[in-house]
Amino acid sequence: MFSVYWPTQGHTRNVTGESTFLLDRQLTKPWDAFVEYAAIFRRLAAAALAAFWDSSKLAKQHQIDFHVGVGLSSAAVDHLIGIGYSFRFQATRH
pLDDT tens-digit series, residues 29-82: 889 999 999 998 887 778 999 999 899 999 888 999 999 999 999 888 899 999
pLDDT band at 16, cuts 50/70/90?
confident
- Is the CB of residue 21 less than 8 Å from the CB of residue 36? yes
What is the spatial distance between Cα 49 and Cα 80, in angstroms, rounded to a whole number? Answer: 10
Q: What share of the chain is helix, strand, coil (3-state, %, to 5)?
A: 0, 65, 35
What is the spatial distance between Cα 34 and Cα 52, in angstroms, rounded to a whole number? Answer: 6
